[in-house]
C-alpha cells in the first residue's frame, strides 16, 4: 500500500529546499495540472523608470474624469468658508478698475484709444487677473498635493492643468459684470464678441504653459513661490493691461510683441469695442503660446520622474 507521502508526491519525488536541503512537500499532480491550464493575467499598467519624455496624450485622456474631479475640488476649496463666495471674482477686477480709472484715466491721462477707460481697463484686468490666479494656483498645485502624488499613480500633468481650469469659473463670473457695465458706458454688443471664448481659451493656454513650468520647478526649487509674485508684478508693466500698445514707442514694440498676452489682450479689446482685429498680432501670440505649452509639457515630463523623491 502506498504511503500518504507517495499519494501527495507522485512517483515518490521529494523536493529539496534550496537552502538547507531539507525535504519540502510538493503540490499534487492534479493541482499542478489545474494551475497550468489557467491563462496568465497580464497587468493593465506597468510602471517603470524609463526616461521617455512623450506627452502620452492617451494616458491623459484616460484619466479625464480625474481632471474634472481635481478642477472641481480646487473650485470648492477656493471659496470654502468665505462670506462673499464667488462674488470675489467680480469685486476684485471691479474695484481695481475703479482705482485704475481714477489714477491712470483721470490723473495720469493714460490714453485708451478713444474708448471709455473703465471698460478699457476692465477688459485688460479681466484677462490679467485670470492669468495671475491661474499661474499662482498652478505653480503651487504639486506641492499642495504631496500625499496624492506619492501614493497613487496618475498623470501628474493633470494637477497643474486642473488648477488652471478651476480659475475659468472666476473669469466666467467676472465676464457677466463686463456685459452689464458695457451699455452703461455706451459700448454695444458686436459680432466680434464671438471671439470672446477663443481668446479666453488662448489665455488659459498661456497660463497653463507658465503654470506647468513653474509647478515642476517649484517641486525642486522652493524659491519659486517667493520669486513668482514679484515676477508677475513686473510682467504686468510689460503687458498692455493699463495702457494700449500704441502708447509704447515704435522701437520697443517688437519686445512687447514677444509677450503672447499683448496680442491676446489687444484682440480681446478689439472684440469688445467692435474694432478690426490685428490678425498678425493674434497669429504671432498663438504661435508663441503653442510653442510655450508644448515646451513646458516636455520639460514637465522630464522632471516628473523625480517628483515623488524630492517633493
pLDDT per residue over 46-79, tens digit each?
Answer: 555 444 445 567 888 888 888 999 998 888 887 7
Helix locations, 9-56, DSSP H = 29-36
Looking at the DSSP assignment, which residues form a beta bridge with residue 16?
23
Residue 17 has pLDDT above 70, yes or no: no
d(CA 289, CA 209): 8
* C-beta separation of 172 from 257 below 8 A: no
3-class SS at 106?
Answer: helix
Check residues 56 and 131 and name the one with the higher pLDDT.
Answer: 131
Q: In b/e form, how buried is each residue of 228-244, taking b as 16+ CB within 10 angstroms?
A: beeeeeebbeebbbbbb
Question: Measuring CA to CA, which residue among 37, 35, 41 is closest to residue 26?
Answer: 35
Least confident of 82-96, 113-127, 205-219, 263-277: 82-96
- The cell numbers describing 169, all together, are 469659473
- The cell numbers describing 55, all together, are 506627452
- Region 88-96: mean pLDDT is 87
Least confident of 57-66, 158-167, 204-213, 248-257: 57-66
For residue 27, name the pLDDT band (cuts at 50, 70, 90).
Answer: very low
pLDDT per residue over 135-151, tens digit each?
Answer: 999 999 988 888 888 78
For residue 14, name the pLDDT band (cuts at 50, 70, 90).
Answer: very low
- The cell numbers describing 282, all together, are 493674434
d(CA 23, CA 13): 10
- Region 161-178: mean pLDDT is 92
For residue 45, the model assigns a pLDDT of 54
* C-beta separation of 239 from 262 below 8 A: yes
- The cell numbers describing 160, all together, are 497643474
Query: How many CA within 13 A on the CB side of residue 101?
Result: 15
Rounded to the nearest integer, the mean pLDDT of the chain is 82
For residue 41, the model assigns a pLDDT of 61
Q: What number of helices (H) and strands (E) belong to the chain?
A: 15, 2
**Cα dihedral 50, 53, 58, 61 in deg (nearest 10):** 110
Phi, psi of 51 (to 5 degrees): -100, 20
d(CA 2, CA 100): 100
For residue 31, name the pLDDT band (cuts at 50, 70, 90).
Answer: very low
For residue 231, the model assigns a pLDDT of 92
How many residues appear in the chain?
A: 311
Residue 5 has pLDDT above 70, yes or no: no
Question: Measuring CA to CA, which residue among 205, 195, 142 is closest to residue 168?
Answer: 205
**Quick one: the chain helix, strand, coil %, rounded to 5?**
70, 0, 30
- The cell numbers describing 200, all together, are 479666453
3-class SS at 24?
Answer: strand
What is the residue extent of each domain of the chain? Answer: 8-32, 57-310
**Cα dihedral 27, 28, 32, 34 in deg (nearest 10):** -120
pLDDT per residue over 229-262, tens digit each?
Answer: 999 999 998 999 999 998 988 888 888 889 999 9
Residue 133's H or E segment, with its range, is helix 117-139
- The cell numbers describing 307, all together, are 517628483
Residue 213 has pLDDT above 80, yes or no: yes
Least confident of 61-70, 148-157, 198-207, 296-305: 148-157
Amino acid at each position: 500500500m502506498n504511503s500518504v507521502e507517495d499519494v501527495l508526491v507522485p512517483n515518490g519525488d521529494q523536493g529539496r529546499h534550496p537552502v538547507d536541503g531539507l525535504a519540502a512537500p510538493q503540490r499534487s499532480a492534479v493541482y499542478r495540472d489545474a494551475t497550468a491550464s489557467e491563462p496568465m493575467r497580464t497587468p493593465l499598467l506597468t510602471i517603470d523608470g524609463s526616461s521617455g519624455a512623450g506627452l502620452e496624450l492617451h494616458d491623459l485622456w484616460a484619466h479625464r474624469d480625474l481632471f474634472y474631479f481635481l478642477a472641481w475640488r480646487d473650485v470648492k476649496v477656493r471659496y470654502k468658508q468665505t462670506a462673499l463666495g464667488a462674488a470675489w471674482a467680480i469685486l476684485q477686477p471691479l474695484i481695481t478698475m475703479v482705482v485704475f480709472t481714477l489714477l491712470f484715466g483721470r490723473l495720469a491721462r493714460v490714453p485708451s484709444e478713444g474708448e471709455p477707460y473703465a471698460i478699457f481697463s476692465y477688459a485688460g484686468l479681466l484677462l490679467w487677473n485670470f492669468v495671475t490666479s491661474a499661474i499662482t494656483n498652478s505653480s503651487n498645485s504639486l506641492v499642495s498635493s504631496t500625499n496624492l502624488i506619492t501614493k497613487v499613480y496618475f498623470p501628474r500633468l493633470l494637477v497643474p492643468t486642473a488648477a488652471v481650469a478651476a480659475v475659468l469659473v472666476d473669469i466666467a463670473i467676472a465676464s457677466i459684470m463686463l456685459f452689464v457695465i458695457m451699455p452703461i458706458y455706451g459700448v454695444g454688443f458686436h459680432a466680434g464678441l464671438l471671439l470672446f471664448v477663443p481668446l479666453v481659451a488662448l489665455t488659459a493656454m498661456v497660463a497653463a504653459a507658465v503654470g506647468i513650468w513653474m509647478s515642476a520647478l517649484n517641486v525642486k526649487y522652493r524659491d519659486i513661490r517667493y520669486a513668482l509674485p514679484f515676477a508677475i508684478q513686473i510682467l504686468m508693466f510689460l503687458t498692455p493691461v493699463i495702457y494700449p500698445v500704441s502708447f509704447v514707442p515704435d522701437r520697443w514694440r517688437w519686445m512687447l510683441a514677444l509677450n503672447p498676452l499683448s496680442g491676446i489682450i489687444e484682440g480681446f479689446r478689439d472684440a469688445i469695442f467692435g474694432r478690426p482685429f490685428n490678425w498678425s498680432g493674434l497669429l504671432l501670440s498663438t504661435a508663441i503660446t503653442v510653442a510655450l505649452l508644448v515646451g513646458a509639457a516636455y520639460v514637465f515630463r522630464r522632471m516628473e520622474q523625480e517628483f515623488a523623491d524630492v517633493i
